[in-house]
């Protein structure tokens, strides 16, 4: 099952940006694509990019769906902290890693249900509704860990973050599998279309018979579950749950990845594939900064500037300007068609 | 009669009074001027930044960069005062120019490139934090006699409370903010923009100037907040004030301003700041509660106020519908 030509066309700009980012990587580090197989595990910078990008990629999957419904989920970073704390405390209490994983997923699911309830039933704006959990979530996570950094040594749980299956690091397998699964679910069924309908006009989607309330709750729950999985992976990677720093600002990275993936913050048409490529772009940019050996103080500045460039290139206004420049021949310049105003941050 | 538009403000005020009464009942010492003056001093930088955030949110936008700008301002001042013999006052002016320009640039990007404020200010947040890292990654102490002079300025109230300069700056900022929001053309334009861009355009609101002005104001106030923060801590540290933008947003929402924009009061934000400060003070007084309860309680308060606003919106809408229906039946009866 190869991607359809239309899919390929949709993600072409993102693929080009990714290629440019990877080319930059090769430029500063010619060995970039070199992959080793040692001690039953793949080693190499590309593998690292895929591995390190796992948390953002996982968050991205849920975030894309949420943003497609014209929402936003600010709480994913805090949910990561909660899930990590829950998993660690369950393991420390002497239960197995499966119980810990299930407990963490349950915690994430409850968080998502809460967000979905606020958005879909109480009709609170998504940015406000998820802000509540974003503010309170780290407090809850600290409550679970009692303010300490809970460390654990359960091999099963650690395997989720630092383990290897058939030579491939587990986090990569998890995010690729989940990404494919969700992308398949929304594209092979009408689910994706229904979600897009909610994002374009919720009222009319409801009038058309879509149970938007249940669907919205489901979307936020999926986002919570993805965040929980990311939280478990991060906790497993460092063998401990840090309520203060786990997933700090990752919600912003995830939103950024979705936007770089060409999805509008105003909802509507979405592509999980493009968002995942967006996440990889962010990770490749991180990697280029790291490999270039620049002083780490410059990381954030360079990242900000690069992201700004990518966003400006994708800005509808710039696209419009190019369109007008191309169209402007001998005939008088047509008036710029009114663009939908941005209201995403509301 | 109390107009329903003022109800959230009144509820915020009532919450503050009630919370203070409860705290005072548990710990009578909370009523002392010492606690009150510390409440102002400790929250001064947050309050000043929250005034700018109120304007941004009133216009329907959001500014995620203020925490980073505050940190940048602190590091910039510390490095400039260490490396050069520049007078702090001149450095203040310089850094305010930089942060105002930074805010204006974000506003211009938002308006002219039609990008969502969320993403633009997010990039701004990375940029300002990154600039602070580039200047210095470690905490730089500020030792200058002018700083000592400023820190030594206070009014000693009966009861031993020391109302310091920075608390005064915050109160002054709020007063100016209230006047600008409710008594000037710019303030009207901000409200109009938040009420709906299309309507604002039809009303003849200069959108470009207003948008740039709003984010420039926010940048400028974040810079002022950074100056106050550096006076408060006598140091500049690039990792400081992480997440202050969230506290500011929470204060604005608790203060009764709608995050959709177009509706709210700068004065409400002041009460929001005091409520948040009060929670922290109570936890310190109590001694057995852990610091994370602050976050949970603030989250709960945030939720309560959002619900309150939601309920009020529903109530007013229902009333409007009823009124419309009554007029409709009335005119039908007439004809």
Which pLDDT score, from 0 to 100, does residue A345 have?
A: 41
- As a whole-number percent, the residues of chain B with pLDDT over 90 amount to 37
Nearest CA in chain A to B257: A128
Assess if residue A15 is contained within a domain: no
Same domain, A50 and A129: yes
What pLDDT is stored for residue B105 in this prediction? 94
- Is the domain of A169 the same as that of A302? no
**B155 vs A: CB within 8 A:** no
Residue A71 lies inside a defined structural domain of this protein: yes
- Where residue A125 falls among pLDDT bands split at 50, 70, 90? confident
Per-residue model confidence (pLDDT) at position A83: 93
Residues A10-34 pLDDT 10s:
788 888 888 888 888 888 888 777 7
Assess whether A303 and A256 both reside in one domain: no
Looking at the fold, whether A173 and A254 belong to one and the same domain comes out as: yes
* Rounded Cα distance, B169 and B150, in Å: 12
Q: Are A119 and A218 in contact (CB under 8 A)?
A: no
For B77-135, the pLDDT digits (tens) are 999 988 888 888 999 999 999 999 999 999 999 998 888 898 899 889 989 999 999 88
Q: pLDDT tens digits, residue range A195-222?
A: 888 888 888 888 888 888 999 999 999 9
Is there a domain that residue A343 lies in? no
Instruction: Please report whether residue A154 resides in a domain.
Output: yes
**Residue keyed to tokens 């005064």:** B168
Tokens coding B266: 């700068």
| B110 neighbourhood in chain A, CB within 8 Å | 342
Q: Is residue A145 part of a domain?
A: yes
CATH topology of domain B6-321: ABC transporter involved in vitamin B12 uptake, BtuC (1.10.3470)
Residues A157 and A274 in one domain: yes
Q: Residue A256, exposed/middle/buried by CB under 10 A (0-12, 13-18, 19+)?
A: buried
Tell me the three state secondary structure of residue A109.
helix
pLDDT (0 to 100) of residue B4: 60
Compute the distance between CA of residue B95 and CA of residue B89 in angstroms, rounded to an integer.
10
pLDDT of residue A244: 80
Could you read off the pLDDT of A96-109 as tens digits, one per residue?
Answer: 888 999 999 999 99
- The verdict on a CB contact (< 8 Å) between A128 and B131 is no
Q: Are residues A138 and A64 in the same domain?
A: yes
With respect to residue A338, please indicate whether it lies within any of the assigned structural domains: no
- What is the number of structural domains in chain A? 2
pLDDT tier at A329, thresholds 50, 70, 90: low
Instruction: Give the pLDDT of residue B3.
Output: 55
For chain B, domain boundaries: 6-321
Decide if B130 and A341 are in contact by the 8 Å CB cutoff: no
Choose the mutation target among B61, B69, B114, B254 for the interface with A, i.e. most A CBs under 10 Å.
B114
Q: Is residue A345 part of a domain?
A: no
Q: Is B291 a residue whose pLDDT tops 80?
A: no
Rounded to 5 degrees, what angle do the CA atoms B177, B233, B251 make?
A: 35
**A317 and A182 in a common domain:** no
- Average pLDDT of B160-170? 85
Identify the pLDDT of residue A1.
45
> How far does the CA of residue A318 sit from the closest CA of chain B (Å)?
7
Report d(CA B332, CA B191) in Å as an integer: 36
Query: Residues A166, A313: one domain?
Result: no
Alpha-helical segments (H) within chain A? 5-28, 45-52, 54-68, 76-92, 97-116, 126-145, 155-162, 170-188, 191-200, 202-207, 212-238, 250-260, 272-291, 299-314, 316-327
User: B205-229 in b/e burial notation, b at 16+ Cβ within 10 A?
Assistant: bebeebbbbbbbbbbbbbbbbbbbb
Q: Is residue B75 scored above 90 in pLDDT?
A: yes
Measured between CA atoms, how close is A158 to chain B, in angstroms? 27
CATH number, position A282: 1.10.3470
pLDDT class of A4 with cuts at 50, 70, 90 = low
pLDDT score for B212: 95
Average predicted confidence (pLDDT) for chain A = 84
- Asked whether residue A318 falls in the same domain as residue A208, the answer is no
Banded model confidence at residue B46, pLDDT cuts 50, 70, 90: very high
Residues in chain B: 335
Is A304 within 8 Å of B127 when comparing Cβ atoms? yes
pLDDT confidence bin for B177, thresholds 50/70/90: very high
**How far B91 CA sits from the closest chain A CA (Å)?**
23
pLDDT at residue number A3:
56
Of A90-94, B152-156, B233-237, least confident by mean pLDDT is: B152-156
For residue B310, list chain A residues with Cβ-Cβ distance below 8 A. 122-124
Q: Give tens-digit pLDDT for A140-191.
A: 999 988 878 888 888 878 888 787 888 888 888 899 999 999 999 998 888 8
Min distance A146 CA to chain B CA atoms (Å) = 9
Q: Indicate whether B136 pLDDT > 70.
A: yes
| Together in a domain, A273 and A304 | no
Separation in Å, CA of B138 to nearest CA in chain A: 11
What ipTM describes this predicted complex?
0.80
Instruction: State the average pLDDT over residues A295-318.
Output: 77
Q: Is B129 on the interface with A (CB under 8 A)?
A: yes
What is the pTM for the complete model shown? 0.85
Closest residue in chain A to residue B297, using alpha carbons only:
A136
Residue A327 pLDDT > 80, yes or no? Answer: no
Q: Do B307 and A131 touch (CB under 8 A)?
A: no
- Residue A5's pLDDT band (cuts 50, 70, 90): low
In a domain, A206, yes or no: yes
Q: Do A146 and A202 belong together in one domain? A: yes
Contact pairs from chain A to chain B, CB under 8 Å: 148
Q: Maximum CA pair distance of chain B?
A: 82
Question: What pLDDT was estimated at residue B334?
Answer: 55
| Same domain, yes or no: A243 and A316 | no
Taking only residues 44 to 103 of chain B, the set having a beta carbon closer than 8 angstroms to any beta carbon of chain A reads: 60-62, 64
Q: How confident is the model at residue A82 (pLDDT cuts 50, 70, 90)?
A: very high
Q: Do B299 and A72 touch (CB under 8 A)?
A: no
Domain extent at residue A304: 298-324
A139 vs B contacts (CB less than 8 Å)? 292-296, 299
Q: Which of A128, A135, A143 sits opposite B246 (nearest CB)?
A: A135
As separate numbers, helices (DSSP H) first and strands (DSSP E) second, chain B gives 14, 4
- Inter-chain CB proximity A127 and B62 less than 8 Å: yes
Mean model confidence pLDDT for chain B: 86
């Amino acid at each position: 099952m190869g991607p359809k030509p239309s899919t390929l066309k949709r993600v072409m700009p993102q693929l080009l940006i990714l290629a440019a980012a990877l080319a930059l990587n090769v430029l500063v580090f010619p060995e970039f694509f070199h992959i080793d197989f040692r001690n039953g595990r793949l080693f190499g910078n590309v593998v690292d990019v895929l591995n390190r990008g796992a948390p953002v990629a996982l968050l991205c999957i849920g975030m894309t769906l949420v943003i497609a419904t014209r929402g936003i989920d600010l709480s994913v970073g805090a949910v990561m902290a909660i899930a990590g704390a829950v998993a660690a405390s369950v393991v420390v209490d002497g239960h197995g890693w499966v119980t810990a994983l299930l407990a963490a997923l349950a915690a994430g699911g409850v968080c998502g249900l809460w967000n979905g309830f606020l958005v879909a039933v109480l009709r609170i704006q998504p940015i406000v509704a998820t802000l509540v959990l974003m503010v309170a979530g780290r407090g809850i996570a600290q409550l679970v860990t009692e303010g300490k950094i809970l460390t654990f040594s359960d091999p099963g749980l650690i395997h989720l973050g630092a383990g290897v299956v058939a030579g491939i690091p587990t986090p990569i397998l998890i995010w690729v599998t989940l990404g494919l699964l969700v992308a398949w679910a929304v594209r092979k069924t009408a689910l994706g279309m229904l979600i897009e309908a909610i994002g374009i006009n919720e009222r009319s989607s409801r009038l058309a018979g879509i149970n938007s309330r249940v669907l919205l709750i489901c979307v936020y729950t999926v986002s919570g579950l993805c965040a929980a999985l990311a939280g478990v992976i991060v906790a497993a990677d460092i063998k401990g749950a840090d309520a203060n720093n786990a997933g700090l600002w990752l919600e912003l990275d995830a939103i950024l990845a979705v936007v770089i993936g060409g999805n509008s913050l105003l909802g509507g048409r979405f592509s999980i594939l493009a968002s995942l490529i967006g996440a990889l772009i962010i990770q490749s940019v991180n990697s280029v900064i790291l490999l270039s050996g620049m002083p780490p103080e410059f990381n954030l500045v360079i990242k900000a500037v690069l992201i700004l460039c990518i966003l400006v290139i994708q800005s509808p206004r710039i696209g419009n300007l190019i369109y007008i420049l191309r169209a402007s021949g001998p005939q008088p310049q047509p008036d710029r068609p009114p663009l939908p105003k941005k209201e995403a941050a509301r | 009669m109390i107009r329903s538009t003022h109800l959230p403000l009144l509820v915020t005020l009532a919450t503050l009074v009630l919370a203070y009464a409860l705290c005072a009942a548990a710990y009578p010492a909370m009523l002392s001027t010492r606690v009150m003056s510390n409440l102002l001093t400790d929250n001064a930088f947050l309050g000043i930044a929250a005034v700018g955030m109120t304007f941004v949110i009133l216009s329907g936008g959001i500014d995620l960069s203020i925490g980073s700008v505050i940190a940048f301002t602190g590091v910039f001042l510390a490095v400039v005062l260490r490396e050069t013999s520049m007078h702090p006052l001149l450095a203040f002016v310089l850094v305010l120019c930089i942060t105002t320009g930074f805010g204006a640039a974000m506003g211009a990007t938002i308006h002219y490139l039609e990008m969502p404020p969320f993403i633009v200010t997010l990039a701004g947040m990375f940029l300002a934090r990154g600039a602070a890292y580039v200047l210095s990654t470690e905490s730089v102490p500020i030792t200058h006699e002018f700083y000592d002079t400023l820190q030594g300025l206070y009014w000693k109230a009966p009861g031993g409370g020391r109302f310091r300069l920075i608390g005064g700056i915050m109160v002054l900022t709020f007063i100016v903010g209230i006047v600008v929001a409710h008594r000037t053309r710019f303030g009207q334009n901000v409200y109009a923009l938040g009420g709906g861009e299309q309507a604002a355009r039809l009303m003849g609101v200069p959108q470009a100037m207003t948008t740039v002005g709003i984010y420039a104001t926010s940048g400028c106030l974040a810079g002022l907040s950074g100056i106050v923060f550096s006076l408060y801590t006598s140091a500049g540290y690039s990792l400081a004030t992480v997440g202050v933008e969230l506290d500011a947003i929470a204060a604005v929402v608790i203060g009764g301003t709608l995050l959709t924009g177009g509706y709210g009061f700068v004065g409400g934000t002041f009460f929001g700041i005091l409520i948040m400060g009060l929670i922290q003070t109570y936890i310190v007084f109590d001694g057995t509660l852990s610091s994370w309860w602050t976050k949970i309680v603030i989250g709960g308060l945030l939720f309560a106020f959002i619900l309150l606003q939601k309920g009020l919106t529903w109530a007013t809408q229902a009333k409007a519908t009823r009124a419309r229906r009554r007029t409709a039946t009335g005119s039908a009866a007439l004809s």
